[in-house]
Copies of this chain bind each other. A is one copy, B any other.
Amino acid sequence: MLDPNYIVGFVDGEGCFSITINKNGDALAEVRLLFEIELREDDEAILQQIKDVLGCGKIYHLNYQRYDKWRPHVKYKVSNLSDIAGKVIPFFQRYPLQAKKIWQFEKFCTVATMMARKEHLTSEGVAKIKWIRQRDSLDALDTHVQWGAIETT
């Protein structure tokens, strides 16, 4: 099994904690969290090992051509909220990120907390998530919600 600190180093370089907000016609926009790592296809084995340690997520092959020099890519993705809340976030809390990606992760955790409280199902919640997402850091976020105090049922 990969050393957890190796995974932290790899994710600090190549991982992505993203907050997506998809418009939904006149209905409330849909908020989703995604943890992803995208690499060239010939590095699939390392994604499989990271998946084994985190114990969740799926690996996808991306074979379409985005641009001339495209080579096939492979993506490890966790989008299930209970996996994110119960596996991904606790892992990176136990083994903290060391580079600037930690700010992306903090925003990700804050939104996960809000989602566990169903705040993303209200227009006020979605507006707040949009505001959190576009901030450079959470320094000035006076309503900063600490992860850890919530249930992730």
Contacts of A39 in B (CB 8 A): 99
| Chain A interface residue bracket vs B | 20 to 34
Q: Which of A6-14, A85-93, A126-134 contacts B (4 or more CB under 8 A)?
A: A6-14
Task: Pick the interface stretch among A20-28, A42-50, A56-64.
Answer: A42-50
Copies in the complex: 2
A5 CA to B6 CA, complexed, in Å: 5
Say whether A94 faces chain B, with CB atoms less than 8 Å apart.
Answer: no
**CA separation between A13 and B14, bound complex, in Å?**
6
Interface residues of A in 94-124 (CB under 8 A from B): 98-100
Which listed residue (B4, B9, B43) contacts A8, Cβ 8 A? B9
